[in-house]
Each structure stands twice: as structure tokens, then as C-alpha cells.
Amino acid sequence: MRSIPTPLALAALLVLTSIRDVSSLSTPKFRNFSRRDYLNALGNTIATTSPFLIPIISNAAILSTDDDSQGIAAITDSQVGRAFRRSVVQGAQVADKLDEKWERFSDSLRDKSKCDPTTGRRLYDNGKRKDGTPIGNPGLGALCSPEPLLPLNVAMTESILEAAINSALIASGDITSSTQRESLNKSIQETKNLVRPSFERSMQTSVTDDEKNRGMFNFNLYATLRAIATFLRGDKSSIRAFQIAWGNELSKKFAPYATRKDFISPFSGRDEEFQDYDYDKNALLDALGKLTATLNQLKSGGLLGYYEISIPYDDYGSVVTVALDAYAPIGVEILLSEQNVIVEGPIQALVRALFDEAKINFGLDTFYIDPSTTRQDSYNPTQLLVSLNSLRKM
């Protein structure tokens, strides 16, 4: 549970969930983070206004076991969703009336005419004090000109899934064992058989081939990751080994020759970015170059629409943030996290592998964000935000 300074922000933030972890898959101490000058708003948002963070059960998909009629659907439309939204989110109870007041207040500060020139995002105005001075820096919202998702590259998704299966076998200690492979494939198929009816119902509204392809990818990714967690018996050290192996596979596949020269950020560098660190700076930049190159490939394959990588200067090299807009498998990750399946998605696996290669320890926080609204009844997370904090040499 987090402690934050203002009462209204406390009420708002308590309905929001952060999926938090560290490189060892143990729980780190909470650390606030910010993103460059105007991106401080994101840190301020997390710490004070929280207009972006998802209440993780808000619009996530949910698998029904007792009531088959619920199926996989937007949780806001299900009985479970309506109940949970008025109940406990990680032990925090929030009054509905205060929620509604906060939603109206926060959305009223959104100025759709303001667009940040560096990030191309809408700006939030945090309001003014009685003396007329502004409260904090403007917050960043949705992209002013969203980049449409490219058609999903089915061959790319299949290679990502195959890499996940191979990596699970590596983590099990015997990738060459036909018995182990058969066991994992059987577990994946059993999971598919279990959840297929629910996913098929959720795909009934799919019209285009691309929509159907995305639905099938989410179905296969969910079944694969859930089966891998079972296959590895939920052992944290094995799952960490899986994630690093998976990330290495993705990096070799999509960015085999990338270096620090490939690192791209919408923010210009500043000398004070690196003032208090003990790791190899060039190793970090090489890792971010590989991350950039891989994200470019995933973007071209229709898995995400836009990405930003930031090293906030005011954290002096101890924080890196990665934001992915229109992230295709976000619903799968939310569903797995709701079901307490501790296997993370491909982006977290990639980051863990790259920083492991760079010999950098870190804490990792994952947030699911709807940058367009704070209203819970219409909250639809589309952005994945990964914050790496407390960077230090291994």
C-alpha cells in the first residue's frame, strides 16, 4: 500500500493498481518516478492526481469459471466488474461519490487544445492556487495525433509465441527433452480447451481479418503464458529465468546488431541525466538501443502504435521509463495479473533480459493506462507504462 500526501489524491490513487516487481521477482520498496521536465506530471500524477493509472479491474477481461455466461468481456460490463468497482482494490475502499467528484474534476482539467510539442500529447492542467500560481507541471494525456496500428503480422506473433515456449524449456533446465516439450504443449492445449469458449464469444464482434488475427493472438498468448506458469510450477526463480531467456530470444530475433546508436528518445539529452550512478552508462545505452530497435520491429508488426523511452534527468540516471501506446496484448496482461499469474508479457521480458545483459539491477513497476479519461465507467487502458527504478550495478 502506498502513502501519498493529499487527501483527494489518496482517494483517487487507492482505486488504482500498480503491478509491481523487481528483477528478482520480489517486492521492492515503492519509489516515485517522473519523466523529464513536463513529464514530471506523470510522476506527479502517480503521486498526486493520478489521472492515468488503471484500476486494474476496471476494463480488463475476466475469465468466468462459475458463471459461464460471463465469459471474457470488458469487466465493466460484467456483474463481477460492477461489484468489484464498488468494492476493494488491493484492500483499499473508496467511496463512489468521492470517485465521481474526482473523475469530474480531473477530466475538467483536460485541455484538448493544448499539445506538448515534444511528445505530441494532450496536456492536463493541474489547476492553480489561490494566488494564481500553477499547481505542478502539466500532465500528459493521449496522443494529439494517434498513430494507427499497422496490420498484425501473424508470422511475427507466431515467432514470439515459439520463443516463449523455447524459453520455458530453457528455464526448466532441459530444452532438448522431448518429454518436457510434450508436457508443455499438452498444458498449452488444455488451457486453450478450457478458455476457448470464452474467447470465441469475445471475438464474435470481430469483423475484419486483422481483428480476428488479434483475437487469436491474444487467445494463444494467454493460453501459452498461463500454461508456462503452471509448467514452471509458479517458482519465481524459474519464471525469472524464463523471462530473461524469452527477452534474449526477442532481442536476438529483432535487434541482433543494435547498439547505443539506435537509442531514440523524444527528449534531448541533458548533462544532469547521469550524475549519481555506479553502473556502466554505455552498457545502459546499448540496452536501450536494442530496446528501441526491437520496439520498432514490433511497431511495424502491428503490436503497438507508438513508444517513448525516457531517462528522466531529475532522477540522475536512476530511472528509465518505457511507454507503449495502443499496446496490442494489454488485455491479456491485465487478465493474467488479475488471476495472480506472475508471468509477465514480452516487453517486461525484453527489458529484464537487456538489463541483465548490461549488469544493471533495478526495480520494475508496470502500469496500465487510459490516457484519454479518468472516468471508471469508460476507462479503457491502451497504454503500457514500464518504470525501471533504483538502477544500480549488479
pLDDT digits (tens, 9 = 90+) for 257-278: 999 999 988 765 555 555 667 8
pLDDT value, residue 99: 46
pLDDT value, residue 140: 60
Q: What is the pLDDT of residues 8-63, one digit of tens each?
A: 333 333 333 344 444 444 333 333 333 344 334 434 443 433 333 443 333 333 33
User: In which band, very low, low, confident or very high, does the pLDDT at 102 lie, cut at 50, 70 and 90?
Assistant: very low
User: In which band, very low, low, confident or very high, does the pLDDT at 305 lie, cut at 50, 70 and 90?
Assistant: very high
The answer to whether 279 and 393 have CB atoms below 8 angstroms apart is: yes
CB atoms within 10 A of CB 229: 23
pLDDT value, residue 374: 67
C-alpha span between 380 and 121 (Å, rounded): 18
pLDDT above 90: residue 312: no
SS3 breakdown of the chain: % helix, strand, coil, rounded to 5? Answer: 45, 15, 40
pTM (two decimals): 0.70
User: In which band, very low, low, confident or very high, does the pLDDT at 233 lie, cut at 50, 70 and 90?
Assistant: very high
Q: What is the pLDDT of residues 141-158, one digit of tens each?
A: 777 777 788 999 999 999
User: In which band, very low, low, confident or very high, does the pLDDT at 129 lie, cut at 50, 70 and 90?
Assistant: low
pLDDT value, residue 113: 57
The answer to whether 348 and 243 have CB atoms below 8 angstroms apart is: yes
